[in-house]
Amino acid sequence: MRKPQMALTSWHWLVGAAALVIVLAGLQAVSSIVNPLLLAAFLAIASATPLNWMQQRGVPGPLAVLVLFLAVGLVFFLLFNALRGAVETMAAQAPQYQQQLGSVFIQVREYLMELGVPEEAIPEQIPLPAVGTLTDAATTLAGGLGQFTAATFLVLLAFMFLLLEESTLPGKLAVAFPASRRARVRTRRFLRAVDRYIFIKSATSTLTGIVIGVGLWLIGVDFPVLWGILAGLLNFIPTVGSFIAAVPAVAVALVGGGLFDAVLAVALYVATNVAIGSVLEPRLMGRTLGLSPLVVLMSLMIWGWVFGPVGMLLSIPLTMIAKLALEAQPETRWIAVMLSDRADRVEG
């Protein structure tokens, strides 16, 4: 009797995997519709904590939603304007930076040859895109960032309605599952864990962006606002995101200010990510919620394939939500253990 049972279990896993692939392919097909709603849901979850805080202090629900809607809309507007200004300036200075980067490469090449590295082992020039390509790309990006598109308006509109829905969700769960108290408790626990994770991660990412931006401005690196925004967004991606965010800023520091500024920029990134990511964030969350490095890489690939750049940006939050949902059910807790970087990071 054991063999048929094992075969049946194998078939269940095979059918489940096939269904998952079909669902992901379907989401990819409608990603243009899902992406704005996904961003709105992320913003709504991140805003749930301040919304509850205002309501607990007597602020009427609709007024609290309106305040958050205006605040998020203002942040979007300011970010778009800041990015547009930085990218337009970068487009104007692209030829100068390309020339300076070529000069730095020549100096490095001569230094390596003095150390005895064979000349044929060193490239004669660094492979850089044409100046016209950089300028056109930066100009196009600046023009796109300068507009509130219909997708952005849809994100903000869906964000507002999701906030209005948030206050009625506990009552709906009680009515929808009147006889399943344990299921309601697990659901509320899961929703609280998601709210806490997204809010704290958003807060620490914002703090990371501010510290990086101000620090680079003090060092004298060009476009500190751009690098601060990039550091804050990529902070959602553990380890890899911080490295990706640091590379262009350090390169600009090296070209514009020299080796000393580049070293200061590297030290700033390392100190900020250690202090916030390794010290402050775990203390605020009460426990670390690490993912296996392999899971991080697979999350980037899978969610990036499904939702494009938005999926890559939200890949870790999406995977963490799935992990928290798996933790909430004893039957699937073992999957959450496999997703973690350490077994003791999953609570019973």
Q: How far apart are CA 236 and CA 252, in angstroms?
A: 23
With respect to residue 304, please indicate whether it lies within any of the assigned structural domains: yes
Residue 291 φ then ψ, to 5°? -110, 150
Last residue of a domain, one of 138, 167, 196: 167
Q: How far apart are CA 323 and CA 346, in angstroms?
A: 9
DSSP 3-state assignment of 323?
A: helix
Same domain, 241 and 345: no
Domain that holds residue 307: 288-348
Tell me the average pLDDT of the chain: 77
Contact 269, 276 (CB under 8 A): no
Q: How far apart are CA 35 and CA 172, in angstroms?
A: 26
- What CA–CA distances, in Å, run from 306 to 32, 183, 217? 10, 30, 36
pLDDT at res. 215 = 93
Q: How far apart are CA 334 and CA 339, in angstroms?
A: 9
Same domain, 194 and 244: yes
Same domain, 62 and 158: yes
Q: How far apart are CA 188 and CA 244, in angstroms?
A: 36
Tokens read off for 196: 């806490």
Our measurement of the distance from residue 1's CA atom to the centroid of its chain's CA atoms, rounded to an integer in Å, reads 49
With respect to residue 172, please indicate whether it lies within any of the assigned structural domains: no
Which regions of 137-270 does DSSP assign to beta strands (E)?
none
pLDDT at res. 292 = 72
Same domain, 266 and 298: no
Kindly tell me if the per-residue pLDDT of 223 is higher than 90: no
With respect to residue 49, please indicate whether it lies within any of the assigned structural domains: yes
Last residue of a domain, one of 246, 268, 286: 286
Phi and psi based region of residue 239 (left: phi greater than 0; alpha: psi -120 to 50; beta: remaining) = left
> Residue 199 CB: number of other CB atoms within 10 A?
17
Kindly tell me if the per-residue pLDDT of 162 is higher than 60: yes
pLDDT tens figures, 280-329: 887 776 655 567 777 777 888 888 888 887 788 788 788 887 877 777 77
pTM above 0.85, yes or no: no
Kindly tell me if the per-residue pLDDT of 142 is higher than 60: no
Same domain, 46 and 148: yes
Q: Tokens 């798996």 — which residue? A: 326
Our measurement of the distance from residue 225's CA atom to the centroid of its chain's CA atoms, rounded to an integer in Å, reads 17
Same domain, 54 and 95: yes
Q: How far apart are CA 118 and CA 114, in angstroms?
A: 9
Same domain, 246 and 319: no
Same domain, 229 and 343: no
Cβ neighbors of 35 (< 8 A, separation 6 or more) are 151, 307, 308, 310, 311
More confident residue, 291 or 210: 210
Q: What's the average model confidence in pLDDT over 147-155?
A: 68
Same domain, 209 and 299: no
Under the banding of pLDDT at 50, 70 and 90, the label for residue 269 is: very high
Q: Tokens 């669902």 — which residue? A: 23
Same domain, 119 and 195: no
Q: Is the dihedral of CA 21, 25, 26, 28 positive or negative?
A: positive
Q: How far apart are CA 325 and CA 317, in angstroms?
A: 12
